[in-house]
Amino acid sequence: MRERNAAILEKAKLYENEFIKSISKDEKPSFHLCAPIGWINDPNGFSTFNDEYHLFYQYYPYDTIWGPMHWGHSKTKDFIKWEQLPVALAPDEDYDMEGCFSGSAIEDDGKHIIMYTGVLDKTNEEGKRILRQTQCIAIGDGINYEKLDCNPVITNEMLPEGSSLEDFRDPKIWKDGNEFYTVVASRSKDGSGQILMYKSRDLRNWEYVTIVDKSENKIGRMWECPDFFKLDENYILVISPQEVKADKNGFHNGNNTAYIIGKYDKNNNNFTREKYSVIDYGLDFYAPQTFEAKDGRRIMVGWMHSWENRIVPHDFKWCGMMTIPRELTIKDGFLIQNPIREIENYYKNTVEYNDLSIEKEISLEGINGRAIDITLDIDASKSEEFQIKVAKNEEYETLISYNPRKSIVTFDRSYSGKYGDTLHRRDISVKENDGKIKLRLIIDKYSVEIFINDGEHVMTSTFYTPLNATDITFSSQGLTLANIKKHDIIV
């Protein structure tokens, strides 16, 4: 084995330190975590350590496109204000030279344990390309992380027969009693996704437990980034399926996210699926990851970007944001998501309008901006369509509309300022409720997360409209009654 190449990590740290200074704070979102410099994708290692919350991410500091994966690192006390820490992992060992792919973290016995996928890509003596994904451990103190000398700890020999050796990644670790468990994404014999479970007492020696669930080519093909946890009496398996076919207003073509809800019999390691559904219906949401905070909240964060679309302006030196962390609950067998409540600590300049009658396009004094939390309680029963335009000026606008006749909410960024933006509109079916709906929009410079009816549905999308477009207007075809409340978010 080749010696670890420590210079690769050092180089990334130095680069980060040097070049982050060249990006002004004003260019970046106010309260969403984003790439410090270069590219980020999946959230990784969302966990508590020493009473602070840590979030790592797939990271390539040197360019605004994907490259050999490092793990970037940030921490927060309240999920809104983030502090950046030095790069935690670099692809510097034989078994991860092609990248330290996604994974997770937990705190155990005063140590911060990371589990990630090492990607090996080499050409053997016969000139044949060997691509392998295996699972590895690194242990740290919240800043520096050491990879175990016995890595990789879960190898290809530990896969069920016929599974792909190349698609085996994204371990999500947890501890139950004295045992560590992990779920890992894998591609089965039939070419579609399966989620495998392993367990270990010491993090070094792992044994295969079971297949938690599999796609059988029904929910997309390969499933990435699994997460598995208990919420109330239910177990939730989160997956990010690739190559999904569009399905009315549910899945869209390409990469999606889904949760499978069911029961888990721990003694027999048997998960029984009850139903599955989409997690987020927007254009930019993928690879979410959760953890349980000390106060018992199950909190999820997702990558606020998509593999399908590259709409980030050419002059940006950073690419990729995370969603606002979301509190998860279950209602009537469905997953409910709401923005982390700590956002309320940053409310300023609250403006409220009650009993508004809206028909022609209006703007409201004090309601504008690009870093806001705005809630609308709407009765559109006498309307054909209600529209909100945000990030607007004479040239640009981003449209959110509600059709009460069809119970459809639409997000449309056709006029947000990016040509080349081919996938720019989505419709989602919401509950019929006599034309009444509640919409909460979390807007942060380049993104809007639309929480519908207190988190029953969420639509997350980005738009890279110039920051001087700050107007917001409301209009209705026919009469809409509305209560509107807005807070600026000042961090």
- Catalytic site positions: 42
State which residue, 219 or 287, has the beta carbon closest to ligand FRU: 287
Strand 457-462 relative to strand 447-452: parallel, antiparallel, unpaired?
Answer: antiparallel
Least Å distance between CB 474 and ligand FRU? 36
Number of neighbours of residue 361 by Cβ within 10 angstroms: 11
Least Å distance between CB 124 and ligand FRU? 24
State which residue, 58 or 462, has the beta carbon closest to ligand FRU: 58
HEC string for 311-327 = CCCCCCCEECEECCCEE
> Cα angle at 86 between 83 and 87, to 5 degrees?
120
Interface with ligand FRU (CB under 6 A) = 41-42, 58, 69, 101-102, 117, 169-170, 224-225, 286-287
Least Å distance between CB 130 and ligand FRU? 18
State which residue, 242 or 387, has the beta carbon closest to ligand FRU: 242
* Residue 255 contacts residue 308 (beta carbons within 8 Å): yes
State which residue, 256 or 383, has the beta carbon closest to ligand FRU: 256
Least Å distance between CB 351 and ligand FRU? 39
Least Å distance between CB 131 and ligand FRU? 13
Which run of H or of E encompasses 129? strand 129-140
* Residue 380 contacts residue 432 (beta carbons within 8 Å): no
Query: How far is residue 28's CA from residue 426's CA, in Å, rounded to a whole number?
Result: 25
State which residue, 29 or 91, has the beta carbon closest to ligand FRU: 91
State which residue, 305 or 413, has the beta carbon closest to ligand FRU: 305
- 280 Cβ neighbours under 8 A, 6+ residues apart: 257, 288, 302, 337, 458, 459, 460
- Hey, is 466 helix, strand or coil? coil
Name the DSSP class of 273. Answer: E
State which residue, 16 or 385, has the beta carbon closest to ligand FRU: 16
Query: How far is residue 90's CA from residue 126's CA, in Å, rounded to a whole number?
Result: 29
Least Å distance between CB 39 and ligand FRU? 9
State which residue, 69 or 97, has the beta carbon closest to ligand FRU: 69
How many angstroms separate the first and last alpha carbons of the chain?
48
* Residue 282 contacts residue 302 (beta carbons within 8 Å): no
Query: How far is residue 258's CA from residue 236's CA, in Å, rounded to a whole number?
Result: 10
Least Å distance between CB 204 and ligand FRU? 22
Least Å distance between CB 312 and ligand FRU? 16
State which residue, 255 or 476, has the beta carbon closest to ligand FRU: 255
State which residue, 285 or 346, has the beta carbon closest to ligand FRU: 285
Task: Output the CA torsion sign for 271, 299, 439, 473.
Answer: negative
Residue 240 tokens read as 């990010």
Query: How far is residue 297's CA from residue 174's CA, in Å, rounded to a whole number?
Result: 16
Name the DSSP class of 11. Answer: H
Strand 326-331 relative to strand 52-60: parallel, antiparallel, unpaired?
Answer: unpaired
Least Å distance between CB 324 and ligand FRU? 19
Residue 333 tokens read as 């067998």
Least Å distance between CB 225 and ligand FRU? 6
* Residue 283 contacts residue 256 (beta carbons within 8 Å): no
Q: Give me the DSSP letters along 12-77.
A: HHHHHHHHHTTS-GGGS-SSS-B-SSEEEEEEEEEEEETTEEEEEEEEETTSSS--SBEEEEEEES
- Hey, is 261 helix, strand or coil? strand
Buried b (16+ CB within 10 A) or exposed e, 88-117: bbbbbbebbbbbbbbbbbbbeeeebbbbbb
